[in-house]
Structures are given as structure tokens and as C-alpha cells.
Chain A
Amino acid sequence: LTLGEGAGFLLLEPMDEVLDTGRRPLAELYGFGMSSDAHHMTAPPEDGRGAEQAMANALEMADVNPERVTYVNAHGTGTRLNDASEASAINRLFGLRMPVMSCKGLVGHTLGGAGGIEAVVSVISIQQQRVFENIGVSTAADDCPVSIVPAGGLDLSERPVVVSNSFAFGGNNCSLVFGATHEAD
């Protein structure tokens, strides 16, 4: 685990208030989901069922099918237990095709700041329709059945939808679903 320090902030406003003032939002938070592993203080369950539940809850609130998701900004700590567990959950929900990227190879694990930074990166990905590469990893481990974003990054579709995961000690899980604003349609 490589620690980093930093913070990321998003200004959230009700969509109707933003549009009433003629401003154009950077992105839209479609939904969020939470769950508890109820398993162990520092180790997630091998099958990642808590992570899967958080992502599924977020997609349900967002009213987004898994097929609509463009990439997953993973919690991705670079530790064996987390990465194998999270990859297993992502694989079950989205299949092997889903590009997965973790910011932590670039900025380290910023602990309480990680979720905010990764949310900002997710929004930037939507704006630029592009996701940058995983730093410090070129191939996924054998027990991580996911497609990691390759060197050089990846161009995304015109209307990307991003799932951003954050998991905490004690097995507290949260997933966010970001996308372009529906009003842009």
C-alpha cells in the first residue's frame, strides 16, 4: 500500500437550480449505493459481495444498466486482498470487458481524500471522454479477472458513464455513478 496525501472536492447542486441559472454542469451524479461487508475489519470477503452490492445499489438508484457503464474507477489499492475481491465483484456485474482504472498508482492511497479525488477524476474522464492509464501496472494479476486500462489510456464513448468505488476499513462500501447531464440530450 502506497500512501499519498491530497483532497478532492465536488460542488453538488440540484440540477433544476443549475439549469435555471443557465449554467452547464460538468457532469451529473446519477446515483450512489452503499453496503456493509459485515465480514472483517481489514479484509474484504473473497468474492467481493459487499462491493458488488454497493455497485448494484448505485446502478439501481441511477437507473443505469451495467451494459451502459463505460469504465470503473476502482478502489484499487494495489493490495492482493482488495484487488482480487473488487475484481471479482466487477467481473460478476460487468463481465471481463469492463475497463478498470485505479488512481492510486498515480497519487497513492489518500485515505479519507481518496473518494473525493477519484470522483474528480471520474468527472474529468466524462468531460474529456478519455481515461488515463493505470500507473505502475501493465497486466492484471491472475486472481483479478478484469481488463485494466492499457498504457496510453483509452478513448471513451461520446456519453461515458463511470462507476467510482471507495471501500473503507470495517467493510463500509460506497459506489458513485457519474455521467453526462441528461439535459444535454
Chain B
Amino acid sequence: MRLNIHGIGTLSLGLDEPFVQGTGSLQTIPIGDYAKPGLRRKFGRLATMFYVAASRAIENARIEDLDGLAIVTSTALGEATVSLNIVAQIHESRGKVLSPRLVPNSVHNSPAGHLTIGKRNHCPSVTVSQGWLSAEAGLMAAEDLFHAGLAEKALVVFGDEADTSWPGRLEELGATQWARSVASESFQEGAVALVVGREPGGLGLGTVSAGVERIGSPRNDMVSVLEKNKIKLGLGAEIRVRSSAGGVDVLKGIGNGLGIDPDRVCLDGPGLGSAQAGAFIALKQCIERTDSEELLLLGAEMDEIGFVHWMR
């Protein structure tokens, strides 16, 4: 199923603020423009980012009545800082002290809960997480809601937070190995929200489809994902591969057999941070460009390949 894009909203490094080297956190989250103090004081950082991106997408889609707008949230890490705070409080108090607010804010669906409360939305709400392929999983969840007849439109919000203080805090907790691992990931934080629907939107933002395939070798099976999902690329289509230089080499070597122009295949490398950030940043950039009419995003993780296929 192809989803029609009715609106888009972002709050992300690479879009709203420039990239930084290493782990990158947003300098400004203008939540005050969208949520009253009594509401926003309960948000975790990810919920705050999601709320801003979602509000911008709703504005962009010019939706005033949210009745019938299902909500899908998608995140790899969830409210990671809240989870870290739980671990720290347990460690420092030997398990005697734990702030009650931390627990409900630590679950992956807490941003969805804050969104439904803030937007007074009573529609179905689904939260999914599939590592660095969570953006794809979020769009697939929206497709499922449409297939089941549970909604005509959905607000799909995906993203992750990143905090430069994480490695230091983990060091303090004695988790040295974990601290090094987190520091080496160079996470870049951001959130993007799409309002998608079964019917065409009026803004000409295009359509999108997504999927995740379990395969044997991400490097070698990039092509089989295209074939299996019957993706025939048009002339000049751009292909961006996240975090898999090997996958880029394979696709460049295919030639024109599948409509792939080797010159239009590129790697979203470390500059785009995590794979998920790369997905939504590239999508937003492409939607706003006028020179490219078709974009295929491919992301690999473990033994899975995810794709997001956007067309004008």
C-alpha cells in the first residue's frame, strides 16, 4: 500500500539545526510554542521532541479536527535518558529511591501517551520499535491500521534522542564498556512526523511505502528487496543506503538492469548519524526538493533490510 503524505513536521539535527561531530543533541526544543507548562512539564525529552514534530506536521497538513487521526510512534531507543535515570537512582540509593514519574515515562509508548493527552485524541495509538529500522516499522504500522479499517489518516512520528552526557554518566555508574560503545555510535537526535492517509493530499508531498525484509546478507541482498517488493525505479531515481558501504558497492555494480543509475546511489554515512535519523532526514530533504521525483532509502541492520520508497 502506498501512503499519501498530507503533512510533514521536523525537529532534527541536519534539518532544523546543523550536524555536529560525534554525538549530537539539539540546542533548542521550542516546546513552549506548542504545549502549555502544565502539560509539558511531565514530558521526557523524546516526548518533547515528538510533540513539536507532531504539532508541526498537523499544522502543515492543515488539520483542525483530529477526530479519526490515529497515532503511530516509532523509536529505537525510547526515552533513553529516563531509563538511564532509573538505573542511576537504583544504583545511588541501593534501590531505596525511585521517582514514580520515571517509570511511566520510561516505556516506549510514553510519547504516544503524552501526544494523545495533549491533542485530546481518542483514536487508536500504536508504538513500534525495530532498532534502526524503526522508521520503516512505523510506516508499516500505519499501513496495518489502514488495512484493518481503523483509520483513514495517521500521524506517524519517528525519531530518537541523543545526549552528549550519556557516556559520562555511564562511566560514573561503572559501565565503562557501555559508555565507550555509546560514545562510538555518534548518535544524532531528531524527530520527524508525517501525516499520512489513504486518500491523496492536496500539498503535493507525494506518496511513500515501506517494508522490512529478513534476509541472509544485507550486503548482497539489497537487490532482492527491490525485486521482492516489485519496486521498479524510474529514470533518475535516487538511492540512499544507510550505514552500509558494501550495499552501495553492490547497487552501483548492478547497472541499469533494475533501473538503477550508479551515479545516483550514495551512502548516508556517519555524518547522518544513526540509520533512523538518516532515513527521515533524507526523506524530508527529498520532499522539499524539486529536482528528484523518486527516492529509495535502504537501511540494513543485522539480518534485515528496510526500505522506504518515496515518489512525487
Contacts and interface: CB of A to CB of B under 8 A. Distances in A.
Interface of A: 32, 34-42, 50, 53, 57, 61, 168-172
Contacts of B81: none
Contacts of B117: 37-41, 170-171
Given A41-B42, A42-B104, A168 B123 contact: no
Nearest to B116: A36
B42 A172 contact: no
Q: Return the 5 tightest CB-CB contacts between A and B, nearest first.
A: A170-B113, A34-B124, A36-B116, A169-B104, A36-B125
Interface string B79-112: 0000000000000000000000000110101101
Q: Chain B interface residue count: which class?
A: 20 to 34
B107 A37 contact: no
B113 A171 contact: yes
A35 B122 contact: yes
A179 to B, nearest CB: 18
Nearest to A172: B125
Nearest to B108: A112
A41 B114 contact: yes
A172 B122 contact: no
Contacts of A41: 42, 104-105, 110, 113-114, 117
Contacts of B210: none
B150 A172 contact: no
A66 B120 CA distance: 28
A99 to B, nearest CB: 27
B122 A38 contact: yes
Contacts of B126: 34
A168 B127 CA distance: 11
Contact of A36 (B105, B121, B148, B150): B121
A38 B124 CA distance: 11
Given A41-B42, A171-B117, A35 B104 contact: no
A109 to B, nearest CB: 12
Given A41-B104, A170-B104, A171-B117, A36 B123 contact: yes
Given A170-B112, A172-B112, A172-B113, A38 B119 contact: yes
A170 B125 CA distance: 10
A72 B229 CA distance: 41
B116 A172 contact: yes
B116 A38 contact: yes
B121 A38 contact: yes
B71 interface: yes
A184 to B, nearest CB: 24
7 contacts: A35-B123, A36-B124, A37-B116, A168-B107, A169-B107, A169-B110, A171-B117
A61 B145 CA distance: 13
A135 to B, nearest CB: 24
A170 B116 contact: yes
Most chain B CB neighbours (cut-off 10 Å) among A168, A169, A170: A170
A8 to B, nearest CB: 19
A39 B42 CA distance: 13
Contacts of B148: 32, 61
